[in-house]
Structures are given as structure tokens and as C-alpha cells.
Amino acid sequence: MKHLLITAVCCLLLMSGCNSSSSDQTASQTTCEAGKDSMKYAMNLYRKVLPEHLEAYKASFEKCKVETLKEPGCLAYGMYQSYTDSTEFLIFEVWANKGAHNEHGKTAHLKQHIQEIKGMGDSSFKPNNVMVYICPNVN
């Protein structure tokens, strides 16, 4: 239930920056008709880390975040730690488009982060990922 609430809040935050008049909607509908390649791409990733790895996990993420935010297609990238369970995290990413996210997957800093956090996850936790395409001003 709390994951659903967090997802809803994140979606509302993403949409709160949109203002849409009828002329804006007409223009954005035209832009979005070009297909998903022209839309922003947002992700919410839920993770649970073993307690003994909390500090190393957060440190690795922060190193990766510094470099990720320099990527030209990255619009937002961060992580929240649950206040009710310090081992649970919500990672959020917003990209200019899916192609920019795909390029992120090829970066050395992400590959290093993935190697550093290997084995830190709680295997009893089922990761939940929410990925959406965002057409400007339609929301």
C-alpha cells in the first residue's frame, strides 16, 4: 500500500509542473504523435538493502548520481530512504526520452555502481519498478 502511495505522490509531483491551455494541448498532442521517442521517460524503482550494506549502498548511489546528473538527457535523478524502514529506498529518474535513458545504461559510472552494489539487496524483497512515458502538457 505504501508503494502505491509513494508512486501516486511522485506522479503528482511530475504532473504539477504542467499547465495546459487548449492551444498548449494541441501543440503537445502534435509533439506526442511523433511517438514515444519524443516523450520524457520517468522511472520509480523500489529497492530494499541488507542493513549491513546501508552506508555503502548510499555512498555508491551518491557517486553515481553526481555523474548521472551531468548527462545531457538526465532531467532528475535521486533517491529517497523510507522513514519507516531505513533499508527501503525509492530511486526516481526522469529522462528527456527513452534514448537518453538507454545511453545512461552504457556509462562507466552506472556500470561501476551496479558492480559496487552487487549482493547488497535483500533477496526476500520483490523489487517494484514503475516506468512511464510523459507527453508534455497532456497530464
What is the DSSP code (8-state) at residue 126? -
Q: How far apart are CA 60 and CA 41, in angstroms?
A: 24
Instruction: Find out whether 89 and 3 touch, Cβ atoms under 8 Å.
Output: no
| Grid coordinates given for 61 | 548511489
pLDDT tens sequence for the chain (139 residues): 455 444 444 443 444 444 334 444 444 444 566 678 779 999 999 999 999 999 999 999 999 999 999 999 999 999 999 999 999 999 999 999 999 999 999 999 999 999 999 999 999 999 889 999 998 766 5
- In this prediction, residue 24 carries a pLDDT of 43
pLDDT at 31: 55
What span, in angstroms and rounded, lies between the C-alpha atoms of 80 and 63?
15
What's the CA gap between 94 and 100, in Å, rounded? Answer: 10
pLDDT of residue 70: 98
| CA 65 to mean position of chain CA atoms | 11
Q: Nearest to residue 13, comparing CAs of 80, 69, 101?
A: 80
Cβ partners under 8 Å of residue 126, min gap 6: none
Domain chopping of the chain, boundaries: 2-134
DSSP 8-state symbol, 97: S
- What kind of architecture, by CATH, is found in domain 2-134? 2-Layer Sandwich (3.30)
Q: How far is Cα 11 from Cα 105, in angstroms, rounded to an integer?
A: 23
Residue 97 has, within 13 A of its CA and on its CB side, a CA count of 9
Classify strands 128-134 and 88-95 as parallel, antiparallel or unpaired.
unpaired
